């Protein structure tokens, strides 16, 4: 979909941003009819409040929109994006600059997102003319990538099964000249991916691993791993209905990895990119794995199934072990892994884990700059003993039930040795209630900040 209009038409409706500090001056400069209307409407420039202004003939003349003041403890750079959801159809422009123009434009594009695969929307949306000094192509790339990820996550499991998720990955790879290799069904056992096979073998559609690479072979190696559980019943340790309703989003890690891959490839970052997606359904049938089963892993560690609903870390373990064999410079994994992360930090603030202090600082810096929030939690080594298995090397479910996001990250850490730096993101991939730039429903978390980090570290185009 087009997020922005082309070169500024003369009749674009101006949007004026106001704060408590700037309002007196802006109000004094308004035409008489508009000033009287604002006074009659009792407009105050509180953050997020908007007012459509008429001219002397009652025609649509402009928009006022309140922003946080300079002294505000928190300013949401996506706040102007709220206008994309409340303004009538038309063409608009910024009459003055918001706090961060590029993020305001991105917030507009992300707010304008609609998932209309099953329910077509007839209402026309407002269009924005971007200022001439902004890299609109970059913003469009980010918005298209997020749209890709959101569409995948929002699609229900009857249409986003393992076949469909594989097809989405293969299509993206082909779009940028990469060829994907698929390891399917019992071939997972032949190729030594026993954990992926164990988790997905009970489903009607067989489990698989998608693997594609892009970029010059001598470029820095950056590998993305995304959890692709297309639906999670919990397995034999079945979830209650309340916990199962949103499990179409349990492939949100794979969708995030694909969204980030789109950004990297579309912008031509000089990387050797590798994307690994273990894709399964955690279903229930006669061949489902049982609690207390023990399986080998690609790395050679034996894994005891403490709970069949802790399946995500198992499929990630085999994929991470494969990624680690290549000793990438940077290894990132994304997974809707634990409810414990939501209890600790809520839906909007995914925790991340890394032992690389410089990388952790860079992630925090780019998260703030990109308005893509994350929060570091510790790989607390004393908790590592909680995942020691009784009958195997390691269990997929710490018996204590405490520190669940940390112990899940420690589980994954056991499968990474050679990568120069590894980071795990325990994302939610969902926005429960709409916010500027974040409509209710599927969300791509942490991808934009990692793209910013990679772009900053390696540049945008190979020289």
* 9-18, 182-191, 364-373, 436-445: least confidently modelled range: 9-18
Q: pLDDT tens for residues 121-168?
A: 778 899 999 998 899 999 999 999 999 999 999 999 999 999 999 999
Looking at residue 90, which CATH number applies to its domain? 3.40.220.10
Instruction: Name the residue range of residue 88's domain.
Output: 13-134
Whether 234 and 373 map to the same domain: the answer is yes
For residue 462, the model assigns a pLDDT of 45
pTM (two decimals): 0.97
Boundary-marking domain end, from 117, 134, 151: 134
The C-alpha atoms of residue 343 and residue 326 are separated, in whole angstroms, by 35
Q: pLDDT tens for residues 424-457?
A: 999 999 999 999 999 999 999 999 999 999 999 9
The C-alpha atoms of residue 145 and residue 47 are separated, in whole angstroms, by 28
Within-domain flag for 290: yes
* 72-81, 209-218, 278-287, 432-441: least confidently modelled range: 72-81
DSSP designation for 368: H
Is the predicted pLDDT of residue 347 greater than 90, yes or no?
yes
Checking DSSP bridges between strand 303-304 and strand 294-295, what pairing results, if any?
Answer: antiparallel
Number of other residues whose CB lies within 10 A of the CB of residue 320: 28
Catalytic (active-site) positions: 239, 313
Secondary structure element (H or E) that encloses residue 214, with its range: strand 208-214
* Residues contacting residue 312 through CB under 8 Å, at least 6 positions apart: 227, 229, 232, 250, 253, 335, 336, 337
Is the predicted pLDDT of residue 7 greater than 80, yes or no?
no
Question: Confidence band (pLDDT; 50, 70, 90) for 2?
Answer: low
Whether 112 and 248 map to the same domain: the answer is no
Within-domain flag for 463: no
Whether 130 and 159 map to the same domain: the answer is no
Whether 198 and 264 map to the same domain: the answer is yes
Percent of the chain's residues with pLDDT above 90? 92
Q: pLDDT tens for residues 8-22?
A: 677 899 999 999 999
Boundary-marking domain end, from 116, 134, 152: 134
Whether 146 and 102 map to the same domain: the answer is no
For residue 1, the model assigns a pLDDT of 53
Whether 223 and 95 map to the same domain: the answer is no
Whether 230 and 96 map to the same domain: the answer is no
Helix (H, G, I), strand (E, B) or coil at 100: coil
Number of other residues whose CB lies within 10 A of the CB of residue 83: 22
Q: pLDDT tens for residues 30-45?
A: 999 999 999 999 999 9
User: In 278-403, where does DSSP find H-type helix?
Assistant: 312-325, 339-345, 357-370
Q: pLDDT tens for residues 244-270?
A: 999 999 999 999 999 999 999 999 999
Within-domain flag for 18: yes
């Amino acid at each position: 979909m087009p997020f922005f209009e082309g070169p500024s038409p003369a009749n674009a409706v101006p949007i004026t941003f106001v704060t408590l500090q700037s309002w007196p001056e802006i109000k004094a400069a308004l035409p008489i009819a508009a000033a009287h209307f604002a006074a009659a409407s009792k407009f105050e420039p509180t953050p997020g409040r908007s007012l459509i202004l008429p001219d002397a003939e009652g025609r649509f003349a402009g928009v006022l929109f309140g922003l946080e003041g300079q002294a505000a403890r928190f300013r949401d750079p996506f706040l102007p994006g709220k206008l994309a959801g409340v303004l009538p159809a038309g063409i608009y422009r910024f009459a003055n600059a918001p706090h961060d123009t590029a993020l305001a434009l991105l917030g507009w594009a992300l707010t304008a997102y609609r998932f209309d695969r099953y329910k077509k929307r007839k209402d026309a949306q407002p269009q924005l003319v971007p200022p001439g000094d902004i890299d609109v192509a970059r913003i469009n790339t980010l918005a298209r990538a997020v749209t890709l990820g959101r569409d995948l996550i929002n699609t229900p499991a009857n249409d986003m099964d393992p076949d469909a998720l594989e097809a989405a990955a293969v299509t993206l790879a082909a779009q940028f000249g990469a060829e994907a290799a698929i390891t399917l069904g019992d071939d997972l056992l032949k190729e030594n991916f026993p954990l992926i096979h164990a988790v997905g073998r009970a489903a009607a559609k067989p489990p698989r691993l998608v693997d594609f690479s892009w970029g010059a072979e001598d470029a820095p190696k950056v590998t993305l791993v995304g959890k692709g559980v297309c639906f999670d019943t919990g397995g034999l340790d079945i979830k209650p209905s309340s916990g199962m309703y949103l499990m179409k989003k349990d492939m949100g890690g794979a969708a995030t990895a694909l969204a980030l891959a789109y950004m990297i490839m579309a912008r031509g970052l000089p990387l050797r990119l590798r994307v690994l997606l273990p894709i399964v359904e955690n279903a229930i049938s006669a061949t489902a794995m049982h609690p207390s089963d023990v399986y080998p892993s690609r790395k050679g560690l034996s894994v005891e199934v403490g709970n069949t609903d802790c399946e995500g870390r198992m499929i990630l373990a085999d994929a991470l072990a494969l990624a680690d064999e290549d000793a990438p410079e940077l290894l990132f994994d994304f997974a809707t892994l634990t409810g414990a992360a939501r209890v600790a930090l809520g839906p909007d603030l995914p925790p991340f884990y890394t032992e690389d202090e410089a990388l952790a600082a860079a992630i925090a810096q780019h998260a703030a700059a990109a308005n893509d929030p994350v929060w570091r939690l510790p790989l607390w080594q004393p908790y590592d003993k909680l995942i020691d298995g009784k009958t195997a090397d390691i269990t997929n479910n710490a018996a204590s039930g405490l520190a669940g996001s940390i112990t899940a990250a420690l589980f994954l850490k056991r499968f990474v040795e050679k990568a120069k730096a590894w980071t795990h993101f325990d994302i939610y991939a969902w926005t429960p209630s709409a916010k500027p730039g974040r409509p209710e429903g599927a969300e791509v978390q942490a991808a934009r900040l990692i793209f910013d980090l990679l772009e900053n570290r390696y540049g945008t185009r190979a020289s």
